[in-house]
Amino acid sequence: MRLGLSSQVFLAAAAAGRKALVGYYPVGYPNVEASLQVLKTLCGTDEHPGVDLVEVGMPYSDPMMDGSVIQSAGSAALRAGVRTRDVFAAVQQVREAGKCAVVMTYWNLVERYGVRAFARDLANAGGAGVITVDLIPEEASQWFAAADEFGLDRIFLVSPSSSDERLVTTVQACRGWVYATAVMGVTGMRNTAPTLAPQLVSRIRELVPEALIGVGLGVSNGEQAAAVAEYSDAVIVGSALLKPMIAAGSLAGLPDLQKVLDELVAGVRGGTATQNSISMIEREC
């Protein structure tokens, strides 16, 4: 696996003696303006460190990998008029807040925009790469070319059901890191920390020792984040960050989001939130 722009985030966290926190939030929920505000909050401040890497989600009409929380936010965002091009403004916002951003998307939106055009505009906006939910390396030749041309990371998913052979080829196809889906199921919060994930991560480490691994799906609180941080390089959280915003339906949800975020930040830092790590994450992405 090749290192890439977003690898630096993982490596910087490791250098600080902790794991990285990756936060997902869809652009456009509850509307584009407000979502930029939420992304800024996720990026943190000196007092509240925030996430290390932001996954900017693109709402899609047919999100077959997503549970009800992300689905309903995506539908609302589409009703409110979010467009593909808004993702670039969101990425720019994250960059301005000093954090690294990758886009998480279903493939048809990229196809429709034009694979090369999407890569070009994402790179121009300062994005580090793309997590492709429903693209397997076998179908990705155009994406390989575009990502290489514009120096973008390509993050594919692996699953507990992936064979050893597929784990190797998929991880090798990644640049940056690999997204390990911790459960057999869709996105959404779960009561217990994922049980299939430790085994999946150790399989990947055995097969591709240099791989950087983010673990996602089902992590919803600090305790679970700490548990996942024990064995992964990064902890990915999505639905748990969205939930307070959905509960409020507006930016009035930000204080509750901040609480969840602080707890998750503390989780990946071994239980206590430290306030000095932000400045340690100097990188070019």
Partner 1 sequence: MVITTPDSQGHFDAFGGRYVPEALMAALLQLEEVFEQALTDENFWTELTQLLCDYAGRPTPLTAAAKFSKLCGNARVVLKREDLNHTGSHKINNVLGQALLAKRMGKSRLIAETGAGQHGVATATAAALFGMECCVYMGKVDTERQRLNVARMQLLGAEVVGVESGSATLKDAMNQAMRDWVASVDTTHYLIGTVAGPHPYPKLVREFQRVISAEISQACLAEYGQLPDAVIACVGGGSNAMGSFAEFISNPKVALYGIEAGGAGIETDRHAASICGGSVGVLHGTKTFILQDEDGQTQESHSISAGLDYPGVGPEHAWLATNGLATYEPVTDEAAMEAFKALTQTEGIMPAIESAHALAGAMRIGQRLAVGDPNAQPLIVVTVSGRGDKDVDTACKYFGLSGVPDSFTGGLI
Q: Which CB sits closer to partner 1, 94 or 173?
A: 173
Q: Which of 172, 181, 270 is nearest to 225 (CA)?
A: 270
Q: Which run of H or of E encompasses 234? A: strand 234-237
Task: Tell me the CB-side half-sphere exposure of residue 39, using CA atoms within 13 A.
Answer: 36
Length of the chain: 285
**CB atoms closer than 10 angstroms to residue 199:** 11
Cα pseudo-dihedral 202, 204, 208, 209, rounded to 10 = -30
Span of 33-41, 59-67, 199-207, 253-261 interacting with partner 1 by CB under 8 A: 59-67
The question of whether 66 is a catalytic residue gets the answer: yes
Q: How far apart are CB 157 and partner 1 at their closest, in Å?
A: 5
Q: Which is nearer to partner 1, 93 or 187 (CB)?
A: 187
B/e letters for 171-189, b = 16+ CB within 10 Å, e = fewer, are: bbbbbbbbbbbbbeebbbb
One of 7, 31, 159, 277 touching partner 1 (CB under 8 A)? 159
The residue from 2, 79, 83, 259 that contacts partner 1 (CB under 8 A) is 83
Name the burial class of residue 136, with classes exposed (0-12), middle (13-18) and buried (19+) by CB atoms within 10 angstroms of its CB: middle
Q: Does 139 bind partner 1 (CB under 8 A)?
A: yes
Binding characters for partner 1, 107-126, by CB under 8 A (x = yes): xxxxxxx-------------
CB of 255 to partner 1, least distance (A): 29
Nearest to 134 by CA among 75, 195, 76, 60: 60
In angstroms, rounded to a whole number, what is the distance separating the alpha carbons of residues 59 and 73? 8
Tell which one of 2, 33, 37, 61 touches partner 1 (CB under 8 A). 61
List the x/- string, 266-285, binding to partner 1 by CB under 8 A.
Answer: --------------------
| CA distance linking residue 1 with residue 75, whole number of Å | 35
Our answer to whether residue 223 is catalytic in this structure is no
Which span (44-52, 163-171, 241-249, 258-266) binds partner 1, by CB under 8 A? 163-171
Contact 153, 129 (CB under 8 A): yes
- Work out which of 124, 161, 195, 202 binds partner 1, going by CB under 8 A: 161
Q: Which of 52, 62, 66, 206 is catalytic?
A: 66
**With respect to partner 1, which residue has the nearer C-beta, 81 or 255?**
81
Footprint of partner 1 (CB under 8 A): 60-68, 71-72, 75, 78, 83-84, 106-113, 133-136, 138-139, 156-163, 166, 170, 181, 183-186
Active-site residue set: 55, 66
